[in-house]
A and B are shown apart, each in its own frame.
Chain A
Amino acid sequence: MTESKDFKIRASQKAADDSHRLKILKAISTYETKVDEMKSDQFFDWSVARDKATEIKKYLIDNLPGLLREFETKITNTGAKVIWAKDKEEAQQQIYDIIKQHNAKKIVKSKSMTTEEINFNEFCESKGLDVIESDLGELIVQLAGEKPYHIVTPAMHKSKQEISQLFSDKLGSAESDSAAELTMVARKHLRDKYTSADIGVTGANFLIADSGAVVLTENEGNIRLSTSCPPVHIVIAGIEKVLPRLSDLSLFLPLLATSGTGQQITGYNSIFRGPKKENEIDGPEHMYVILLDNGRSNLYSNPELREALQCIRCGACLNICPVYRTIGGHTYNTTYQGPIGSVITPHLQNIKTWNHLSSASSLCGACTQVCPVGIDIHHLLLNNRTKINSSLFWKIFINAWSTIMKRRRLLNFAAKIGSPFQKTLTKFLPRGIKKRIPQMAQKSFSEMWENNE
């Protein structure tokens, strides 16, 4: 069966799953209250912040190759090694070379969407390496043998009871209905993993061109531990992650925290400028930064779509999306779910297989409204859609439609001849549309207006 048919089956199953919907709505409403509070508490005017961020991101997109070169030069000067990867396979191979070179067996990894993109865990496991997810949410989905449900909150779909059961099965802990106790189980389980790991692997939230820095944001401290104890630090970053200046962080860190989790700023925002210096007591001896393309340059080469690269992966468009809320994160079957995932996945992977996602939207525009970096998400989805429907029939249909819609008289005429058929026509609408469609009015509003009715 095709991915698109599978998607429909999964979607209709999830949409009818009440317990799923309850869990998701509960999590999202907690999130929404916090975000609204934080937007008004922290910012004079959220839209000013958003415009400024958008301006900086647009500058970045226009100047991407130059800024990447600047980043590369600066971070190379700190002693870190920069490696470029065209795609998933190349990235895997390069990482494997580093692992072999350092004779590493144990890897501790923090939450990163790029590692999901390149199937990092599966790849390492196939090579007999031990990979531990250190983020609590990621650990939960790893133990459950699942993929992340959400780009920010990977285990959003799991209830306390399910997590308790999972921990007791896999880690042998006592069952508990307290989130605090369950967190302590994970803490204990992971503690010595940091200190015994040979390599720490992270993603990157931002790469800073003017100072050659990698910036990572988190709440738990697992990133800090994974980049402090192991002797090697590997960063896997998408090439679009650059910001021009370190000082841009004073806007982007609060912006990301507010949109992502409704926090003023996340617990730890760490800036890395290479491996440990000679006068420093600890830190990794080696730092590698893998710059991953994996389809991003395809997006970049399309003038209408490139603004999708402005995304800071805050997850706000997922949370607001009525489709995401109904069908859930796993239904998409992609690394990036929700509206932005539907925009970029067809271009990062394969347009034929994945473009059905562009139709998984009601085009209500809520995503565009919440996006903190001003991406016109729903128009990009529309743009993707035109790529699927390029058949002759569609072209004739859409041309006729737009001709009629643009001329008042034609529209009136069409409505007139159309209304008697309407009842019959609605019978042929695809099954699943269970709403009754009201009768069309005899006269249009403009006719009534003209006749002063």
Chain B
Amino acid sequence: MNSRSQILGKLSKFEKPGISSIPSEINDKTIFNVFSDPSTFVDKFTKNFQALNGEIYIVKNLEDAGNELVSIISSLDNKKCLSHTTEVINKLFSINHTLSEIFDILNVDFLDSDIFSTYEVGLTTADFLIARTGSIVLNSLTAGGRRLSVLPPIHIVLAETNQIIPSLDEIFKNDFTSIDWSYATIISGPSRTSDIEKQLVLGAHGPKRLIVILIEN
């Protein structure tokens, strides 16, 4: 008998299926302090995101977003920037030529992580922003795979205000889980550690800076 059937066989002798019905789904409103008024979402997200040491720029439109991005990058020593392609990023690069010159576009040549490692900035989009926790949710399709949002020391997220949801439970309520991604992550602030004497240090292994450019719509 193989290990699988041995383990499952032993467990099955003691299981009690049907003794209780499956507990109702989690409703965050009954458990957490959730903000349900959509007009407060931007404020709440901003406040909670900043509390996690995230940097946020709220802009009126894509054009302003481009200008903000150019000014962020101009203050960096290493200006090597990498992005993937999505509809909104393509649009941004088509209206802002400075950006389209600065940014390299992720493609199969970047499979070698050594080349990847020379980049300072990774630009991605996201799926949701969460007002209650100040988090960003993205997946391997919206964020150009797994490395772009974690390997470069600065991660910049281009998002829109209508992507803000009140709390975590909404992530699992819609199409998000049926999209065929292999990887998704909920990001709450730049990389951090408190492993040395419980003191908070930013930039442990992942991005040292996390920046959101939030376009109002």
Interface residues in chain A, defined as those with a beta carbon under 8 Å from any beta carbon in chain B: 26-27, 30-31, 41-44, 48-49, 52, 55-56, 58-59, 62-66, 68-69, 78, 84-86, 90, 134-137, 140, 153-155, 158-160, 163, 179-180, 182-184, 186-187, 190-192, 194-195, 211, 219-222, 224-225, 227-229, 239, 244-251, 253-254, 261, 264-277, 279-283, 291, 293, 297, 300-301, 303, 306
Contact = CB atoms under 8 A, between A and B. Distances in A.
Given A58-B20, A59-B23, A228-B150, 17 more contacts: A31-B198, A44-B30, A59-B22, A62-B19, A64-B11, A66-B17, A153-B195, A158-B196, A160-B196, A194-B113, A211-B177, A228-B147, A249-B168, A273-B182, A273-B183, A280-B183, A281-B144
Interface in B119-166: 133, 135, 140-141, 144-147, 150-151
Interface string B181-215: 11111111111111111110101111100000000
A183 B30 contact: no
Contacts of B184: 270-271
A270 B32 CA distance: 21
Contact of B147 (A41, A229, A271): A229
Contacts of A43: 31-33
Interface stretch (B2-10, B35-43, B89-97): B2-10
A136 B181 CA distance: 29
Contact of A159 (B133, B168, B181, B197): B197
Grouping DSSP codes into helix (H, G, I), strand (E, B) and loop, the B interface class, with mixed when no group exceeds half, is loop
Contacts of A275: 182
A78 B182 CA distance: 8
Given A179-B199, A301-B10, A277 B151 contact: no
B56 interface: no
A52 B151 contact: no
Contacts of B114: 195
B58 interface: no
Given A239-B7, A265-B133, A42 B201 contact: no
B108 interface: yes
B69 interface: no
18 contacts: A59-B23, A62-B16, A65-B11, A155-B196, A158-B196, A183-B201, A191-B205, A195-B151, A220-B204, A222-B204, A224-B150, A265-B186, A267-B188, A267-B192, A268-B186, A281-B107, A300-B14, A303-B14
Contacts of B111: 281-282
Interface string B47-73: 000000000000000000000000000
A247 B26 contact: yes
A246 B116 CA distance: 32
Interface residues of B, number: 78
Contacts, number: 265
Contacts of A64: 11, 15
B31 A49 contact: yes
B106 interface: yes
B149 to A, nearest CB: 8
Contacts of A280: 140-141, 145-146, 181-183
B169 interface: yes
A282 to B, nearest CB: 4
A269 B146 contact: no
Contact of A283 (B7, B33, B140): B140
A224 B30 contact: no
Given A136-B193, A244-B22, A282 B206 contact: no
Nearest to A163: B196
Contacts of A191: 117, 205
Looking at A86, A163, A303, the one whose CB has the most chain B CB atoms below 10 A away is A86
A219 B192 contact: yes
